[in-house]
Amino acid sequence: MTTRQWLLADSPSSKLQANLGRGYRMMHALLRNPLAVVGMVILLVLIFAAAFAPWIAPYSPIGQNLGERLLPPSFEHWMGTDELGRDIFSRVVYGARITLMIVALVAVISAPMGLLIGAIAGYFGGWTDRILMGVTDVFLSMPKLILALAFVAALGPGIENAIIAIAITAWPAYARIARAETMTFRNSEFISAMRLLGASHARIITGHVLPLCTSSMIVRVTLDMAGIILTAAGLGFLGLGAQPPLPEWGAMISRGRTFILDQWWVATMPGFAIILVSLGFCFLGDGLRDVLDPKQGGKS
Amino acid sequence: MTAISLRNVDISYGDTKIVHGATFDVAEGESFALVGESGSGKSTILKAIAGLAPEWTGDIDVLGQSRGHGVDYRFASRCQMVFQDPYGSLHPRKTVDSVLTEPLKIHGIGNRDTRVKDILNAVGLDQRFRFRFPHQLSGGQRQRVAIARALILEPRVMLLDEPTSALDVSVQAEILNLLKRLRAEQGLTYLMVTHNLPVVGFMCERMAIMNKGRIVEIAPSTALHDGSFGDPYSQSLYAASGGNPDLKEIV
C-alpha cells in the first residue's frame, strides 16, 4: 500500500491515520488553487529569507559606508543604498525577520485570546456575553492605528511594545467572529448530548466549541496579516515601532521619504516588500477559506 | 418499581407555558410513548427530564431519585437521550472513536478500547467505521453511533426523541429493530417521543396522548388495534393516522 492510499483509506485504522487523511485532503485542495500556491511561495520565500538572512544578504544591514550614499540600483547594490550608504537589499532581507516576528507574535497573542473570549461569551450567553462583548465593543470602536499609537505612547517606543499594542488592538475582531460562530451551534444537539453525558463547561468549550471556531479563525488571521504588517509599518513610519538602526520596512520608508523625489528607490524598495508579503498572506487566506470553509468559498 | 415518575409537571420557556400538569409513571423495563402533533410539548417533557429545559415545577423522579433542574454528572450514567436528527447530534470534526471514548474519559472508566469495540458490535456497526468522521457515514449509521454514545455509560433509562423520524423508511425499520433488540438484551426502560402511531404499536406497551401541552389520555398500545380510545382528541388522532388498517377493510 502506498502512502497516498494509506492517507486516503476509506476506513482508517487509527485516530492518527484519520486525522492525517483529513489534513492530506485539505492540502490537496489547497494545492489545486493557483493563487493559494502563489501566496504560499511568497511566504516560504519570506521565511527562507528570514532564516538565512546572513547568507543571502551581501552586506551588513547596519554597516555604514558614507562614500556610497544614495546610489541607484546597480549590479553591486541590487536595490541601491540609503542615506548612510547601507545596502537596501540587505536591509530588506534582514527586515523579513522583524516582519515575521511581528506577524507570528501578534497571531500567537491575539488569536487565542479573541477565540477564547468569543467562545466563552457565545457559549454562556446572558450576562457573561454582555460584559465580554461590551469590553470587546469598546476596543472595536477605536481605530486600530490610533489605539496602537496610544499604547506605544504609554509603553514607550520599541518593537516589543509595538507588537503588544497591535495584539491588543487585533483581538476584538476575532472575539466577535468566535462568538458569532459559537452561537450558531451552542444549542445544537451534539453540544446538548455532551452536557447530558456529564461533560463540564470547560471541557465542552475547549474540546467541542473551539475546534469548530478555529478554521474560520485561521482564515481571518491570515487575511488580517496584511493589515497587521501595515500597522507595524505605520508605527515604524511614525517612529514608534522598531528603532534605528533596526531594518524595519516601515521605518525604512519613513527615512526614504526625505529623498522620495530624487532617490525614489530608498522608499520604494521596502514598500515593494510590504506589498508582496501582504499580497502573499491575502492569497493564502483566500485559498484557506475555500478549503476550510466550503460554505463561503466558491467551490469549483 | 417506577423508572420515571412525573407529578403535576408544568414546563415553560421564558413566559410561555408549554406543558400543563403532566402526570404519568413508567415502570422499570417498560416502553412508554408520548404521542401528539407537533408543538404539543412531547419533546419538552423529555428535555425537562434530561435537564435541558430547566424551567419546570412539580416533581420528576427517575429511578427513585428526584431530579434537579439542570444537567447532572451522576445522572448521566443512569439516563441517556437519543436525539431526533443524527445529522446534528454528532460533532462534525470528531471520529466515531472519539465520540464514544469521550463519555468514558469524563466518567473515568478504563478499558476503553474493548468497551468501544463491544458497543460498536452491540449497535451493529462494523469495526472499520470506528475511525470515520460523521460525514463519511450514512444517516442510519450516524443514528447507530448516537445510540452507541447513549449506551456506552450503561444507563438503565433511555429517552428517545423521535429517533427515526429523520431517517429513510427502510433505515427506520433497522433502527427500530435495533432499539427493540437492545431493550430486550439490556432490560432498558424507554420513554419515546413520536408522532408515528405504527411505531408506537411496534415498540411500546403504553402511550400518553398529548394535545396543546396537556396529557389527554394514557392508553395501552392495544388501543391501536381496536380503537378503544376514550378521549375525542385521541380518536381523531387515531382516525387521522388511518385507524386500524385491518378494521378499515372490514368496513
Q: Is A28 on the interface with B (CB under 8 A)?
A: no
| CA-based nearest residue to B233, from B204, B212, B251, B205 | B212
Q: Is A192 on the interface with B (CB under 8 A)?
A: yes
Beta-carbon contacts of A233 under 8 Å, excluding residues fewer than 6 positions away, are A241, A248, A249, A250, A253, A274
Phi-psi region at B111: left, alpha or beta (left = phi > 0; alpha = psi -120 to 50): left
Identify whether the C-beta of residue A136 lies closer than 8 Å to the C-beta of residue A197.
Answer: no
Nearest chain B residue to A195 by CA: give it: B71
Q: Chain A closest CA to B239's CA: distance in Å?
A: 33
- Are A198 and B76 a contacting pair at CB < 8 A? yes
Residues of A in contact with B71 (CB under 8 A): 195-196, 198
Q: In chain B, what percentage of residues exceed pLDDT 90?
A: 41
Alpha-carbon gap, residue A228 to A235, rounded angstroms: 11
Give ranges for CATH 3.40.50.300 in chain B: 2-78+157-250
Q: Which one-letter amino acid corresponds to residue A76?
A: E
Q: Which one-letter amino acid corresponds to residue A188?
A: S
Q: Which of B77, B92, B132 sits opposite A11 (nearest CB)?
A: B132
Mean pLDDT value across residues B94-123: 91
- Are B85 and A208 a contacting pair at CB < 8 A? no
- B19-48 pLDDT, tens digit per residue, is 998 999 999 999 999 998 888 888 899 999
pLDDT of residue A143: 83
Count up the domains in chain A and report the number: 1
Res. B251: pLDDT tops 50: no
- What is the CATH T-level fold of the domain B2-78+157-250, as seen in this structure? Rossmann fold (3.40.50)
Domain CATH code at residue A189? 1.10.3720.10
Q: Which of A14, A192, A211 sits opposite B131 (nearest CB)?
A: A14
- Are B102 and A199 a contacting pair at CB < 8 A? yes
- Are B88 and A193 a contacting pair at CB < 8 A? no
Cβ atoms within 10 Å, residue B158: 24
Alpha-carbon gap, residue A274 to A272, rounded angstroms: 5
pLDDT of residue A62: 83
- A117-169 pLDDT, tens digit per residue, is 999 999 998 999 999 999 999 988 888 888 888 888 888 888 888 888 888 88
- B146-184 pLDDT, tens digit per residue, is 999 999 999 999 999 988 888 888 888 889 999 999 999
- B206-237 pLDDT, tens digit per residue, is 999 999 889 999 989 888 888 788 888 888 88
State the average pLDDT for chain A: 86
Q: Which of B74, B75, B149 sits opposite A193 (nearest CB)?
A: B149
φ/ψ of B52, rounded to 5, equals -90, -10
φ/ψ of B103, rounded to 5, equals -55, -35
pLDDT band, very low/low/confident/very high, at A191 (cuts 50, 70, 90): very high
Q: In chain B, what percentage of residues exceed pLDDT 70?
A: 96
Mean pLDDT value across residues B121-130: 90
Instruction: Tell me whether strands B56-62 and B2-13 are parallel, antiparallel or unpaired.
Output: antiparallel
Grid cell in block for residue B111: 478499558
Cis peptide preceding A61, ω within 30 of 0:
no
pLDDT of residue A293: 64
Res. B113: pLDDT tops 70: yes
Q: Give just the sign of the alpha carbon dihedral B212, B213, B217, B221.
A: positive
pLDDT of residue A202: 93
* Domain membership of residue A49 as a residue range: 26-53+91-292
pLDDT of residue B178: 92
How many pairs of residues across A and B have Cβ atoms under 8 Å apart? 78
A9: in domain: no
- B229-245 pLDDT, tens digit per residue, is 888 888 888 888 776 65
- A77-130 pLDDT, tens digit per residue, is 888 888 888 888 999 999 899 888 988 899 899 999 999 999 999 999 899 999
- Are A192 and B52 a contacting pair at CB < 8 A? yes
pLDDT band, very low/low/confident/very high, at A297 (cuts 50, 70, 90): very low
φ/ψ of A60, rounded to 5, equals -75, 145
pLDDT band, very low/low/confident/very high, at B246 (cuts 50, 70, 90): low
ipTM: 0.87
Res. A298: pLDDT tops 60: no
A70: in domain: no
Alpha-helical segments (H) within chain A: 3-7, 15-31, 34-51, 53-56, 88-124, 126-140, 144-155, 159-185, 189-196, 201-204, 210-237, 249-256, 265-292
Task: Output the CA angle A249-A252-A257, nearest 5 degrees.
Answer: 130
Q: Which of B75, B93, B136 sits opposite A212 (nearest CB)?
A: B93
pLDDT of residue B248: 47
E-strand stretches of chain B = 2-13, 16-27, 31-36, 56-62, 65-66, 79-82, 157-161, 189-194, 206-211, 214-220
pLDDT of residue A300: 36
Of A56-70, B101-115, B159-173, the least confident: A56-70
- A199-231 pLDDT, tens digit per residue, is 999 999 999 999 888 888 888 888 888 888 888
pLDDT band, very low/low/confident/very high, at A296 (cuts 50, 70, 90): very low
A69: in domain: no
Instruction: Tell me whether strands B65-66 and B214-220 are parallel, antiparallel or unpaired.
Output: unpaired
pLDDT of residue A113: 93
- A47-60 pLDDT, tens digit per residue, is 999 999 889 888 88
